[in-house]
Amino acid sequence: VKQNPSFPLTLFVSFSTCFFNSFPEGNECIKANVKSCGECIQVGAKCGWCTDPFLKQGEATSTRCDELESLRKRGCGAAKVENPRGSQRVLKNTPVTNRNKGADKLKPEDITQIQPQKLTLSLRSGEPQSFNLKFKRAEDYPIDLYYLMDLSFSMKDDLENVKNLGTQLMLEMAKITSDFRIGFGSFVEKTVMPYISTTPAKLLNPCTGDQNCTSPFSYKNVLKLTSNGRKFNTLVGQQQISGNLDSPEGGFDAIMQVAVCGDDIGWRNVTRLLVFSTDAGFHFAGDGKLGGIVLPNDGKCHLENNMYTMSHYYDYPSIAHLVQKLSDNNIQTIFAVTEEFQPVYKELKNLIPKSAVGTLSANSSNVINLIIDAYNSLSSEVILENSKLPDGVTITYQSRCKNGVIGEGEMGRKCSNISIGDEVSFTISITTKQCPKMGKSETIKIKPLGFTEEVEIALNFICECDCHKDGIKNSEICHNGNGTFECGACRCNDGRIGRQCECSTNEVTSEDLDKNCRKDNGTDICSNNGDCVCGTCECKKRENPEERYSGKFCECDNFNCDRSNNKLCGGHGRCECRVCICDTNWTGSACDCSLGTTTCLASNKQICNGRGTCECGTCKCTDPKFQGPTCEICPTCPGVCTEHKECVQCRAFGTGEKKDTCERDCSYFNLIMVKHRNELPQPGQAFPLMHCKERDADDCWFYYTYAVNNNTEKEVHVVEKPDCPEGPDIIPIVAGVVAGIVLIGLALLLIWKLLMIIHDRREFAKFEKEKMNAKWDTGENPIYKSAVTTVVNPKYEGK
């Protein structure tokens, strides 16, 4: 970059600053391009400033600001690094009160529900300070309740039921607290048209017919807070109904006065409840224009003789204004409204923190139960709020509630379902991103909504380093007093620039600077790696904070040296001016050659097993049969097959003696399965291998090869299917046995039959022979009788 002689140097420096800050990513400390230690520590909590004169030639003063680890690597001693840290100190830490209802009565100011009460934080930019806040609902805590009632004509029957509210409510609240006070106020509407009729007769009695009503009014404080329930009944019993013209009422005016007129109402620093009872809607800011009232509500007390006197002068308050005043005065609101207006007031409840809505019966007969239920609902929830934060300060909450429930974000501000005596805690973190003007301290407050207790936090900002107070103004080191020498560097006075403030922005032109920033009278200014500032090269910064240009002409860098294993200087040295400076026991242009022999020692403590030489930490085996990182592996030596048999068997087939410990003992080689023996690697390749044939317990032969490849990785190729002897064929054997038995049986039968035939023929021949030789007698047999008998019929005449 070449400067235009017509441009002042201040513009050029500003351009450089913009250029550096335009980096999308990288070290935020370097990118900030700061000029002093104070500016450095405001960049972020990771940044530190080195006061040591460790900068190399060409490096800008702003590079003193860097991440702590980076400063250490660059040679800045820990004692020379300015890195102030934030702190916290608790000033008041009164424990929360533990007491029972029957215990001695305490003053409200002596009861503590939140701890701690006061502390001081010292904040450094980007560094959060966290502390724990404890909250515990105290038992028998005092309560002030103010009943604010709409006395327009539609609430006539409600007034009758409220007349006995004091003593009844006293009895019910006695179950919760022994210190209870009650007050009463009423409201109608602004006393101007068109809200009421301003005719003289209507001003005296706004009701129609023979109804006797009191004059209209805006707000009246009837009874200051008191513990006398009978007095409440008496005064409320004396009240009369009034009337107005429009349906919405002027309740917001009354709520504002109740909130801000603390002395008139009698509020104590205890639980404050405001019960707002009505059967109509409400007017709010802007509605006053109908009556010609345009001045905004001033949020101040205007009670005279317990009457609001400025209703005709100030407009109704806005909802936001009411929220602020109710919160400032720790008032919790209960809206007791009829069923018809429930949706309206539920929406209002969502806008007013620590408020509740109850359904009021048509004649207010259920008001006591409504108040008790609403109080229990409000008191079972704690919500933390903080006052306005200074610019640049942020706050976060984390709650640890009942039953171990943890809340984050906005839910971290509150805990629900808290009973009396329950203790919850919050972790609060406060962080600043910048220093306020003049670095003055600020105070913020945190409190639970609806409670008078609060935590006061004083914020002190760390805007300068400790070495700043030792700075020497108009130091001779800074070119005859043109700057302040502090924290190891010159902070130049206005109009001066340069590392030692040696140049004036109004006197020096770029032509004067260029000749001092060109190496060997060349054309490149600062080797195109920097800017010429005040006749001196200030080298450019790179996105990667570990990479830097240096040198008088920015001709050097620490990132363009030789690499090994994709690491600069092999990870065993540092790069200086594009040359590797190797660590001890390393050499080579990329520091990748180890001079140590530890990695070459074999198991027998010999270098390379006595069969090679150690070069750059790696064995070069001289015996071609031996391989491996220490020349101990001999894949072709006898016994290799037997040595690896069990592991091959368990890895390939899941059998063998090592099948149960296979994963532990046999993962030292790469297993490759092949289908046939002819697919096994054959001798003659780049590395030797051994062919193996082994028999398993089933008399099966399995075939594999063992080798160590050129990457010293052990490889085993195994044939998928072992070669097993074939067993007998059962079916033919059984068939043969059966057939043999059948054939033998048939043969025996045939032999027996043949023998019988021969025997019969012999017997028959013998019979025939004897028959021929026999001499038979031919006379008659005396005992022979003929088988024929002849019978003659005597009557037969032969006709």
Share the mean pLDDT of the chain: 84
Same structural domain, 148 and 231: yes
Read off the amino acid at residue 532: C
Highest mean pLDDT among 93-102, 160-169, 613-622: 613-622
CATH of the domain at 133: 2.60.40.1510
Instruction: State pLDDT tens for residues 234-274.
Output: 888 888 888 777 778 889 999 999 999 999 999 998 899 99
Residue 15 above 70 pLDDT? no
Residue 588 above 50 pLDDT? yes
User: Alpha-carbon Rg of the chain, whole angstroms?
Assistant: 55
Residue 609 maps to a domain: no
Averaged pLDDT for residues 459-470: 90
Nearest Cα residue to 542 out of 119, 20, 128? 20
Which segment of 181-195, 250-264, 573-587, 781-795 scores lowest on mean pLDDT?
Answer: 781-795
Same structural domain, 319 and 430: no
State residue 148's pLDDT score.
Answer: 93
Domain count within the chain: 4
Residue 525 maps to a domain: no
Number of H helices, E strands in the chain: 17, 42
Listed in sequence order, the DSSP H helices in 107-209 are 156-162, 165-173, 200-204
Averaged pLDDT for residues 584-604: 84
CATH of the domain at 651: 4.10.1240.30
Rounded to whole angstroms, the Cα distance separating 457 from 127 reads 17
Residue 1 above 50 pLDDT? no
Q: What is the pTM of this model?
A: 0.59
Cα angle value 351/357/360 (rounded, 5°): 145
State residue 543's pLDDT score.
Answer: 75
User: pLDDT class for 21, splitting at 50, 70, 90?
Assistant: very low
Instruction: State pLDDT tens for residues 134-158.
Output: 999 888 888 999 999 888 887 877 7
Instruction: State pLDDT tens for residues 570-583.
Output: 888 989 888 999 98
State residue 412's pLDDT score.
Answer: 92
State residue 201's pLDDT score.
Answer: 73
State residue 452's pLDDT score.
Answer: 84
State residue 538's pLDDT score.
Answer: 79
Q: Would you mind telling me the total number of residues written for the chain in this entry? A: 799
* Residue at a domain's end among 664, 699, 719: 719
Residue 678 maps to a domain: yes
Tokens of 538: 């200030």
Same structural domain, 374 and 418: no
State residue 310's pLDDT score.
Answer: 92
Instruction: State pLDDT tens for residues 362-384.
Output: 666 778 888 888 888 888 889 99
Residue 18 above 80 pLDDT? no
Residue 701 maps to a domain: yes
Rounded to whole angstroms, the Cα distance separating 657 from 644 reads 12
Tokens of 84: 């102030």
Same structural domain, 256 and 304: yes
- Residue 482 CA to chain centroid, in angstroms? 51
Same structural domain, 419 and 364: no
Tokens of 430: 């406060």
Instruction: State pLDDT tens for residues 393-427.
Output: 999 999 999 888 999 988 999 998 888 888 999 99
Residue 589 DSSP SS3: coil
State residue 686's pLDDT score.
Answer: 57
Residue 56 above 80 pLDDT? no
Rounded to whole angstroms, the Cα distance separating 762 from 780 reads 34
Nearest Cα residue to 331 out of 230, 247, 260? 260
Same structural domain, 200 and 349: yes
State residue 489's pLDDT score.
Answer: 87
Residue 735 above 50 pLDDT? yes
Instruction: Give 343-368 as a DSSP string.
Output: HHHHHHHHHSSSEEEEEEPTTSTTHH
Residue 431 DSSP SS3: strand
Strands 618-621 and 573-576, bridge-based pairing: unpaired
Residue 8 maps to a domain: no
Q: Which residue has the higher pLDDT, 748 or 62?
A: 748
State residue 2's pLDDT score.
Answer: 36
Tell me, letter by letter, the H, E, C secondary structure of 204-225: HCCCCCCCCCCCCCCEEEEEEE
**Are 161 and 365 within 8 A, CB to CB?**
yes
State residue 90's pLDDT score.
Answer: 94
Tokens of 146: 């103010």
Which segment of 10-19, 154-163, 494-503 scores lowest on mean pLDDT?
Answer: 10-19
Residue 341 above 80 pLDDT? yes
Rounded to whole angstroms, the Cα distance separating 333 from 323 reads 10
* Residue at a domain's end among 671, 698, 719: 719
Rounded to whole angstroms, the Cα distance separating 51 from 77 reads 9
Tokens of 682: 């054959």
Same structural domain, 160 and 309: yes
Rounded to whole angstroms, the Cα distance separating 18 from 120 reads 37
CATH of the domain at 275: 3.40.50.410
State residue 510's pLDDT score.
Answer: 57
**Are 491 and 483 within 8 A, CB to CB?**
yes
Which segment of 442-446, 721-725, 770-774 scores lowest on mean pLDDT?
Answer: 770-774
* Percent above pLDDT 90 for the chain: 27
* Residue at a domain's end among 692, 719, 746: 719
Residue 437 above 80 pLDDT? no
- Give Dmax over CA atoms of the chain in angstroms: 203
Same structural domain, 165 and 269: yes
Same structural domain, 240 and 196: yes
Q: Which residue has the tokens 């529900």?
A: 113
Averaged pLDDT for residues 47-58: 83
| Residue burial 615-636, b: 16+ Cβ < 10 Å; e: rest | eebbbebeeeebbbebbbbbbb
Strands 129-136 and 114-115, bridge-based pairing: antiparallel
Segment holding 643, helix H or strand E: helix 640-653
Residue 328 maps to a domain: yes
Same structural domain, 332 and 411: no
Residue 784 maps to a domain: no
Same structural domain, 147 and 273: yes
Same structural domain, 372 and 401: no
Rounded to whole angstroms, the Cα distance separating 661 from 399 reads 51
State residue 89's pLDDT score.
Answer: 94
Residue 311 maps to a domain: yes
Domain that holds residue 700: 640-719
Instruction: State pLDDT tens for residues 86-119.
Output: 999 999 999 988 876 556 677 877 888 999 999 9
